[in-house]
Amino acid sequence: MVGSLLLVTGGWVGLRGWQARAHLLNAAGLARDLSGQVVGGDVDRAQRTLAALQEQAAAARAATGDPGWSLGRRAPFAGDNLAAVRQIAVAIDNLSRQAFPALLRTDLSSLLPSGGKVDVGRLRTISAEITGVDGAVQTVRTDLAEVPTDGLVRQVAQALDGLRAEIDRLAALTAAADQAARLLPPLLGADGPRRFLLVSQNPAELRATGGMFGAYAVLHTEAGRVRMGRQGASAELQRFTPPLAVPPEVRAAWGDLPGIYPADVNLSPHFPTAAALYREMFRRKTGVTVDGVLAVDPVVLSYLLAVTGPVLVPGGAPLASDTVVRTLLSDAYQRLDTLEQDRFFAAAGARVFDTMFTKNVNPRGFLSAFDRAVRERRILFWSARPEEQRMFGDSRMAGVLPEKDTVPTVGVFLNDGSGAKLGYYLRPTATLTVGDCQSDGRRELRLRITLHSAAPKSGLSESVLGLGLAGDPYTVRTLVSVHSPAGGTVLSARLDGVETAVGAGSERNRHTATANVEVGPGATRTLEVAVLTAKTGSGSAELWLTPTATPWTTQVVTAPSCDQ
């Protein structure tokens, strides 16, 4: 029956329309359930759900693929709605046949250690299959993201929203698995012994990439095994005179500091610069040359501890997921001296990573934790081998500040100006609003940043208060650097509604403006910045933020494209 398939007063008219609607809602629900089961590792239920999904998805695709449906897609008003439903049906059917079966066959436990080592040979064997699965999932995710929602029946729109959210989770899992399968074998010494520096970024004293490089450990890898070698603190590397060479744009903004002090190598958000400087400083002081630098922060440890469970650190309290950030960034400064702190930080990181290699861990739980940390830029890696570094490209894990944007991206990077460990108490928020289209093809973006201090007015140790460069030792001084989108510019800045002076510069094809923001205990300051993009028709934008001890609260308010 090729009846009228127009959408009238919220209902479907015509036999095929009702059939398609029923199959589509069933398929969307099953796909959502199956994605959750895959992410959660419930393979037995997932197999049963997959069979039902394939049946419903095929029926929905068939019901939306006959000549009558195709004819209806050309009709005014209802045509866009029918086209959208067809897109959803095809996407779900592709997911059920191309992605889920292969994903359920893939043993993700191969990504994790067993018996103290990772089977790098097995990992290489499944790498191509994982890449194929991820490609299929990412394609479906993109297809679903492009489905217009205007005018959809409420039940279908709700099913689409729920499906999109679940596929986003699945796509994060497969992307993390794909990256791990491709990168881990060489990094774990599949082709010969390797050495890396594991550095802990300390967001209690903020730097642009997350926090000052504090404790370090040398990781030795060979044939899938990892062992911890020398451990220490950046303070032991002391200072370098004459300073190491620093890129001209970074030097213009920060002077020679990144080339003098190991704690300042990451005043710039471009992680490869920081990692290369730190590697060279380590080489000059120890005579040891490493193959790359891996940076993590205590929040990463909290995500991993949620998977492994609590661990014991000699000489310290047990580390648990919900308390490790406070333990490392607050409690330790109250009860330990500087040397003891560094030793405790190094031991904590080493103990968590050692647990990952000696304890059976849920692979999907680990991949979810890994993906979250990468998305928040809390795990950064740089390889001294150019061919390996190219594999990371401009990914978040590489920490590369790209010179071109796919979507206009505004960077908000924080550097401590207090000489203290008050970053733990900072509560940041950011809202980016896409504004008007300009006559020259550019677009205005409005950025609103608030910094709130939860610091007490008294009772903190000298170790926390540090140098007190803001005058009042309990006031947090933060240097807030706003980087425009690639090819764009920063127009103006206002602090608490009053125009404020900023330090202007540029880095990697981005205009930069740096403001000094001082926040007293319990106070909140607001920085508003107007930015112009390069020529773009896009109505969307993205934020790149310095990872902080307490995650940012963010919002991006999009607008129609300039072509509409």
**What class, spelled out in words, does domain 194-391 have in CATH?**
alpha beta
pLDDT digits (tens, 9 = 90+) for 302-328: 999 998 899 888 766 788 999 999 988
What is the DSSP code string of 183-208?
Answer: HHHHHTTTTS-EEEEEEEEETTS--T
Q: What is the pTM of this model?
A: 0.84
Q: Highest-confidence range of 16-25, 109-118, 243-252, by mean pLDDT?
A: 243-252
pLDDT digits (tens, 9 = 90+) for 268-304: 999 999 999 999 999 999 999 999 999 999 999 999 9
Domain ranges of the chain: 7-187, 194-391, 404-557
pLDDT digits (tens, 9 = 90+) for 342-372: 778 778 877 887 787 777 777 778 878 888 8
CB neighbour list of residue 401: distance below 8 Å, 6 or more residues apart: 268, 269, 270, 411, 483, 507, 508, 510
Nearest alpha carbon to residue 295 among 209, 421, 234, 375: 209
Three-state DSSP at 240 gives coil
**CA 256 to chain CA mean position, Å:** 30
* Mean pLDDT within 178-184: 81
Backbone angle region of 288, left / alpha / beta, with phi > 0 → left and psi within -120 to 50 → alpha? beta
Q: What pLDDT score does 42 carry?
A: 78
- Residue 151 exposure: Cα atoms within 13 Å on the Cβ side: 16
| Adjacent-strand bridge partners of 411 | 483, 544
Q: What pLDDT score does 358 carry?
A: 75
pLDDT beyond 60 at 5: no
CB neighbour list of residue 393: distance below 8 Å, 6 or more residues apart: 400
Q: Residues 296, 299, 303, 309: what is their CA dihedral angle, to the nearest 10 degrees?
A: 100
C-alpha span between 344 and 262 (Å, rounded): 19
For CA atoms 150, 154, 157, 158, give the dihedral sign.
positive
Axis-axis angle for helices 363-375, 15-40 (nearest 10): 100
pLDDT beyond 70 at 15: no
C-alpha span between 232 and 43 (Å, rounded): 43
Where do the H-state alpha helices sit in 64-119? 67-72, 78-94, 100-105
Q: What pLDDT score does 70 carry?
A: 63
Binned at pLDDT 50, 70 and 90, residue 78 comes out as: low
Q: What pLDDT score does 13 carry?
A: 35
Instruction: Indicate the length of the chain as a whole number.
Output: 564
pLDDT beyond 50 at 4: no
pLDDT digits (tens, 9 = 90+) for 394-447: 888 899 999 999 899 999 999 999 999 999 999 999 999 999 999 999 999 999
Q: What pLDDT score does 9 carry?
A: 29
Q: What pLDDT score does 479 carry?
A: 98
Q: What pLDDT score does 12 carry?
A: 42
Binned at pLDDT 50, 70 and 90, residue 337 comes out as: confident
pLDDT beyond 80 at 232: yes
